[in-house]
Amino acid sequence: MIGFGWLEALLRVGRKLFVKPETQLYPEVKPKLYPRARGRIVLTRDPDGQERCVACNLCATVCPVGCIDLSKAVADDGRWYPEHFRVNFARCIFCGFCEDACPTAAIQLTPDYELSEWRRDALVYEKHDLLISGEGKVRGYRYWSFAGKAIPGKDKGEAEHEAPPVNLKGLLP
């Protein structure tokens, strides 16, 4: 039996002719994205302007497409840092796992999603393309204030929740 359901559907669709359109005329109109939107990856610095990345490799490990490659080096002051840090945005799926895995809040995703290039190899970003001069979304965090390794300006026992180094020559029990 033929009913009038089709008429109802027509009316429901037709009503949309009179409401405000949601479609935005990109690129003339840029969408408003929130800071947590997952776009281009950056490497941030801590409040002192030092590189946050310690080259622990967790971002590369958690990356489901394996598009992050880095290698560790040790600076003269004992900090670990990435000698090279490479992200292949042609492969990146912007899942944000790297940001979640990062123990130092170094790697962060930004709301910038405009990454089109004519050449594929232009999408391979090296460290100087990734490293920004600010702290990004995470303010005030210094990984080295929590780590047990000593670096200049933060001796053993000076990190958060640390007691002064044990005096092994002391006689007290």
Partner 1 sequence: MTKKKIEIDGRVIEAKDGEDLLSACLTHGIDVPYFCWHGALGSVGACRQCAVKVYDGPDDKEGRIVMSCMTPVADVERVSVSDPEAVAFRAQVIEWLMVNHPHDCPVCEEAGSCHLQDMTVATGHIDRRYKFTKRTHRNQDLGPLVTHEMNRCIACYRCTRFYRDYAGGRDLDAFGAHDNVYFGRAEDGPLESPFAGNLAEVCPTGVFNDKGWSRDYARKWDMRATPSICPHCSLGCNILVDQRDGRVKRVQNRYHGALNGYFICDRGRYGPLHVVSEHRLRQPLIDGMPASEHDAASAAHAIVAEGAIGIGSPRASLEANYALQRLVGPERFFAGVSDLESNLVRRIVEILRAGPAKIASLHEVEHADAVLVLGENLTGTAPRLALALRQTARGAERELAAQKGVHAFLDPAVRTAGEGRRSPIVLATPLPDALDDLAALSLRLDPQGVAAFGGSVASALGAGGVEEVEEHSEAARVAEILVNAERPLIVAGCALMSAEIIEAAARIVAALGAKARIVLLAPEANSIGLALLGGDGLDSAAALLKRGGAKTAIVLENDLFDRAPRASVERLFAAAKGVVALDSMANETTARAAVALPVAPFTEATGTFVNYEGRAQRFFAAVAPQESAPASWRRLDAFGAGDWHGLDALIGDLIVERPDLVAVADAAPGEDFGMADGKVTRAPRPYTGRTADDRAGQFADAVIPVDQDGPLTFGIKGARGTAVPTPLITSYKTSGLHSANNVTRFLEEVGGPLRGGDPGALLIKPGEASLPDAVSQRGEAGEGLWLIPLHDAFTGGELSRASALLAARRPAPRLLLHPDDAALHGFRDGAAVQVDGKPCAPVVTLDATVPRGTVVISAGSCQPRGPLRRVKVEAAP
**What residues form the annotated binding site for [4Fe-4S] cluster?**
53, 56, 59, 63, 92, 95, 98, 102
Compose the 15-54 pattern: x for residues touching partner 1 by CB under 8 A, - for all others.
---------------------------------------x
**Strand ranges across the sheet with 124-125:** 68-74, 80-88, 124-125
Per the CB < 8 A criterion, the answer to whether 60 and 91 are in contact is no
Which tokens belong to 1? 């039996």
166 binds partner 1 (CB under 8 A): yes
Cα end-to-end distance, the chain, whole Å: 94
Cα(6)–Cα(14) distance, rounded to whole angstroms? Answer: 12
According to CB under 8 A, which one of 91, 127, 137, 154 is a site residue for partner 1?
91
Of 3-11, 13-21, 23-31, 164-172, which part binds partner 1 (CB under 8 A)? Answer: 164-172
98 binds partner 1 (CB under 8 A): no
Cα(125)–Cα(109) distance, rounded to whole angstroms? Answer: 14
Strand-pair partners of 84: 71
Which tokens belong to 125? 């970003």
100 binds partner 1 (CB under 8 A): no
Residues that bind partner 1 (CB under 8 A): 54, 56-58, 60-61, 63, 65-72, 74, 80, 86-88, 90-91, 103-104, 120-121, 124, 143, 146-150, 156-157, 159, 161-166, 168, 173
